[in-house]
Amino acid sequence: MRINRLMAVVMQSQDVDHAIEELSKAGLMPTLLSTTGVFLGSRNTTLLIGMSAGQEAEAVRILGETCRRRVEYVATPLEGAPFHLPLTTPVTVGGATVFTLEVERYEVF
């Protein structure tokens, strides 16, 4: 396989196992990097996937099916309260952020 594309996918750690299983079935072998997101300070995972041109659509389809959005609740302080009373706010998180880059050179040692 000639690798001339690199897809970097940032996703929630809860979705990793299913995504890797489905990507592997399609012949795409990702490399996992444990990362931490700034928003909510949550743990996430970044997948690096080398592929040939033309495989991007299949990878995006698989990621769309395996990386779902979900609602989490974040405690935020209630302003003006005489004592600390947190207010829970629903926040939508999840899904995946996908970056696709052209690869000029690829070597295996």
Residue 76 confidence class, pLDDT cut points 50, 70, 90: confident
pTM exceeds cut of 0.75? yes
**Answer CATH for 5-102 from 1.25.40.10, 3.10.310.10, 3.40.50.300, 3.30.70.120:** 3.30.70.120
d(CA 71, CA 89): 10
DSSP state of 79: T
DSSP state of 41: G
90 contacts 71 by C-beta, under 8 angstroms: yes
- The contacts of residue 62 (CB under 8 Å, 6+ apart) are 19, 22, 23, 26, 28
The tens digit of pLDDT for each residue in 3-45 reads 999 999 999 888 999 999 999 999 999 999 988 876 556 778 9
pLDDT > 80? residue 89: yes
Q: Where are the domains of the chain?
A: 5-102
- The contacts of residue 105 (CB under 8 Å, 6+ apart) are none
H helices present in the chain, as ranges:
16-25, 56-66
